[in-house]
Amino acid sequence: MSILVTGGCGFIGSHTVVELLSIGEDIVILDNLSNSKECVLDRIETITGKRPKFYKADLLDIDECEKVFKENDIESVIHFAGFKAVGESVAKPMMYYHNNITGTLNLCALMSKYGAKTIVFSSSATVYGMPKSVPISEDFPLSTTNPYGETKLMIERILSDICVSDKEYGVSVLRYFNPIGAHESGLIGEDPKGIPNNLLPYVSRVAAGIYEHLSVFGDDYDTPDGTGVRDYIHVVDLAKAHLCALDYARKNKGIDYFNVGTGNGYSVLEIVKAYEEASGKPVKYKISPRRPGDIAECYANPEKAYKLLGWKAEKGIEDMCRDLARWQEGNPEGYPDN
Ligand code: NAD
Ligand code: UD1
């Protein structure tokens, strides 16, 4: 019996595969490498001593994906595969709807056909839109501000409808806050293509001298120092949440939703300081205008995950920055080309 990990070569997927292999699960990765590289598999093998089975396949090609279900006894699925850049989704909405929605529909069709009716899905705190208050609980109203967020919300609804129609399904939806950091080995980490959109990959490149300075998007928010506040979570803590969520979905039919965050908010300037301390390198920054679509504060109430999944974040901001700095220093150009 194997767990299928779609998008398992990506940032969060690769860390989750390491955790799954380390508890002895059999893993099959399906990834089209549109935002990742095959050499991740070598790194996973170095860390765990095991090499996951890999299919280079696109979820949009249902025939190609059916081969994976035919050739393996897939018992459950952890579904990471999808596009994730907010700005790009605004520029190319059809590409985002097609990849994320059609890809998920194809996956679910195969899951139903082959009787693998347990799934953990990667959603995002973006489904809370502009939250009315913080911390954010799972029962807050849902809305989105961009096509990427819309795909996450639509997939949540698709999975919910599937559960109504087929009582054999068990679905855990994880709403991630801001995943950062890297594996403590320094062998796997985040490797964004081109100029990073997210804060930490940018900060680490400024400290490494790749970019001259960080633009801090706004210092006039209603927050303690005026800069945006987020709930950063170590990617290894996040990976471990998937093991608990999978266990839960195996035992509980129907769908449930969980925030995956620490419950602590840090401002952009606090992050800059934490990274400087962890890396021992300065991070130059300039205050710039607000980024359109950004909210002042976003952090989780993570209690439901603790109560029902038995999961809580263990690593602090120092661990996140230290592990990211180690990954950045060891891999200044990211992963080598295939
Ligand atoms: P990532 O881009 O590193 O990983 C996604 C993987 O999916 C990549 O390896 C990519 O090649 C693969 N992929 C994309 N489309 C595919 C397709 N059609 N068929 C097969 N493979 C495909 O992203 P990540 O940061 O690891 O995020 C994983 C998931 O978590 C995504 O669904 C993302 O939207 C979600 N998420 C991420 C964050 C974040 O900050 N990283 C926050 C909230 C939610
Ligand atoms: C962004 C996405 C969100 C996605 C999340 C995780 C937007 C509007 N939202 O959220 O949908 O789920 O990433 O992938 O893109 N910042 C700077 N300078 C920078 C980069 C960021 O000051 O160069 C600030 C931002 O204004 C924000 C904080 O840093 O206050 C975090 O930004 P980022 O890492 O992009 O994450 P989110 O905005 O939370």
Cβ within 8 Å of residue 224, ≥6 positions away: 267
The model's pTM is: 0.98
Tens of pLDDT, residues 54-113: 999 999 999 999 999 999 999 999 999 999 999 999 999 999 999 999 999 999 999 999
pLDDT of 170-182, one tens digit each?
999 999 999 999 9
279 confidence band (pLDDT: 50, 70, 90)? very high
Q: How far is the CA of 201 from the centre of ligand 2 (A)?
A: 11
Active site residues: 148
Sign, Cα dihedral of 197, 202, 205, 211: positive
| Cα–Cα nearest to 169, from 222, 120, 219 | 120
Query: Is the preceding omega at residue 52 within 30 degrees of 0, hence cis?
Result: no
Tokens at residue 296, please? Answer: 């002042």
| Residue located nearest, by CA, to atom 2 of ligand 2 | 86
pLDDT at 337 over 90: no
Give the pLDDT confidence of 57-71 residue by residue, as tens digits.
999 999 999 999 999
- β-strand 266-267 against 229-230: which pairing, if any? antiparallel
Indicate which ligand has the atom closest to the C-alpha of 151: 1
pLDDT of residue 35: 97
**Is residue 295 very low, low, confident or very high in pLDDT (cuts 50, 70, 90)?**
very high
Q: What would the mean pLDDT of 136-161 be, rounded to a whole number? A: 98
When pLDDT is averaged across residues 142-155 and rounded to a whole number, the result is: 97
DSSP per residue, 44-74: HHHHHS---EEEE--TT-HHHHHHHHHHS-E
What is the position in ligand 1's atom list of the atom closest to the CA of 60? 18
Q: What are phi and psi of 31, to 5 degrees?
A: -155, 140
**Which residues in 235-253 are b (16+ Cβ under 10 Å) and which e?**
bbbbbbbbbbbbbbbeeee
Mean model confidence pLDDT for the chain:
98
311-321 average pLDDT score = 98
Place of tokens 């089975």: 53
Q: Is the CB of 32 under 6 A from ligand 1?
A: yes
User: For residues 130 and 142, what is the distance between their CA atoms, to the nearest angstrom?
Assistant: 9
pLDDT value, residue 338: 63
Report the distance separating Cα 317 and Cα 323, nearest Å: 10
Mutate to test the pocket of ligand 2, among 227, 235, 294 (most ligand atoms within 8 A of CB): 294
Does ligand 1 have an atom closer than 6 angstroms to the CB of 164? no
204: CB partners within 8 A, 6+ apart: 275, 279, 324, 325, 327, 328
Please name the residue whose Cα sits nearest to atom 9 of ligand 2. 86
Q: How far is the CA of 264 from the centre of ligand 2 (A)?
A: 16
Please give the distance, rounded to the nearest whole angstrom, from the Cα atom of residue 229 to the centre of ligand 2. Answer: 10
3-state helix, strand, coil in the chain (%, to 5): 40, 20, 40
Q: Is the CB of 259 under 6 A from ligand 1?
A: no
pLDDT reported for residue 309: 98
